[in-house]
Amino acid sequence: MRKYIYVLVAVIVLAGVASVVLKPRTGAQASRKVLGRVAQSAAETPAPQQDTGETPVPPLRAPQRVSVDESRRNGIVAAIERVAPAVVSVNVVQMQAEKVTDPFSRDFWSFFYAPAPRYRLREKQLNSIGSGFIIDSQGHIVTNYHVVEDAEKVASVTLSDGREIEVELVGGDERTDLAVLRAKGANLPYAPMGDSSHVLIGEWAIAIGNPFGVLMKDPHPSVSVGVISANHRRISPAIAKGERLYQDMIQTDAAINPGNSGGPLVNANGEVIGVNTMIFSTSGANVGLGFALPINRVRRVADEIIRYGRRRDPWPGFKVEDITALRRDLRDQLGLRVEEGGIVVNILTSAPAYTAGLRPGDAILRVNGEPIRSSSDVDFAIWDLFVDDPVEIEVDRQGTRHTIKFTIQELAE
């Protein structure tokens, strides 16, 4: 029995020696593996930071990549897609007299000498195109008065999808250069209206219309993009021989060319803020000075035309002249104590202003808070009002200030 025990012990000892001889580095490798894990854990553990009272800065992250298609569809594109379906080409027929040679003016003796040819006049039909846009679900279309002013007839309007629709002229107002048409169709797209009193200098401006539409023969409107360059611009009454009221105009450098007249000026929200109306140019082409009628006035004029078939003429019942045009001795005689403004030279006793206390010789200094420096300022202020609008006029009467209040009435026909 003791012999077997010795043998077993010998086997165990030999097995232990063999394991040491065959794997002498196993313990060192295990130690290094443990130390490596500890070092790695220490590296991954953030070092303690001292409390400095400052907000820690988040780590920088790689920017997310945006596809080209996503970057192309920006706010400008969305605004155009919102308004463009309501923009129309206004197809106008005009008759123009032209001089042609009379074929029957030559006789037998014309073969022997060459007399001056005789001419006669004949009418020639011209097709022209302006722009406009649908403003409501009833199919009312706003455009400039000068687009349809000399028209024999307004033949039709063409939508951006190519549909050609018959229209009728509801009415127009030459003074504000606006006209309203009505399309004979149903389920027509119309443009969302904005608020021109909230226009910002420098914000995006999008002009949509059909410049040179006769040449292109394409119903799809053209788009130009710029910014709002200025606001509340007043154009000289000398433009259009004083027959147009161009004040509070929105100025833009978005390209406006012939054929754009009557089209919408749109903001980045896809809302109409004005009606493209005129440009300043020495060549007739765009030079970055375009002007649009503010949509707030456009809506009031359009509402009047839709309701009454015309813009009712506001009537103050008095006439003014420039104070600066008066001689000094005449100013002293009238007792004027101001150097500029509009002096009342004539007033009807039946006028609402007379009933309210306005008198000849009064120097008008302000109308509804707006300063008056000349007689044209009074004209602009009154013509910007509508029938039944309240008026407050500040006057100087021989050195004493008075406030006159009355309501605008309609000019009797």
- Round to whole Å and give the CA distance between 302 and 296: 10
402 carries an active-site annotation: no
For residue 83, with 0-12 CB atoms within 10 Å meaning exposed, 13-18 middle and 19 or more buried, which class applies?
A: buried
Note whether 276 and 264 are within 8 A (CB).
yes
Task: State the alpha helices, DSSP H only, in 50-160.
Answer: 68-72, 75-83, 145-148
- Written as six digits, the tokens of 210 are 């059909």
Q: Hunting for tokens 């130009």 — which residue is that?
A: 224
DSSP 267-311: -TTS-EEEEEEEE--SSSS--S-EEEEEHHHHHHHHHHHHHHSSP
The question of whether 146 is a catalytic residue gets the answer yes
Cα 385 to Cα 238, 297, 316: the distances in Å are 21, 10, 10
Q: Tell me, rounded to whole angstroms, the distance of Cα 323 from its chain centroid.
A: 37
192-159-83 Cα angle (round to 5): 25
Burial of 61 from C-beta contacts in 10 A (0-12 / 13-18 / 19+): exposed
Give every CB contact of residue 79 below 8 A, 6+ residues apart in sequence.
Answer: 204, 206, 266, 267, 268, 269, 270
**Active site residue: 131, 146, 173, 253, which one?**
146
For residue 251, give the 3-state DSSP assignment.
strand
Catalytic residue among 261, 374, 375, 376: 261
Of residues 181, 218, 303, 207, the one with CA closest to residue 263: 207
- Report how far residue 389's alpha carbon sits from residue 386's, in angstroms, rounded to the nearest whole number: 6
Percent helix, strand and coil across the chain, each to the nearest 5: 30, 30, 40
Rounded CA-CA distance 349/345 in Å is 13
Of the residues 131, 140, 160, 177, only one is catalytic, namely 177
Q: Is 177 a catalytic residue?
A: yes
- Asked if residue 390 lies in contact with residue 335, where contact means CB atoms within 8 angstroms, the answer is no
Hey, which residues are catalytic here? 146, 177, 261
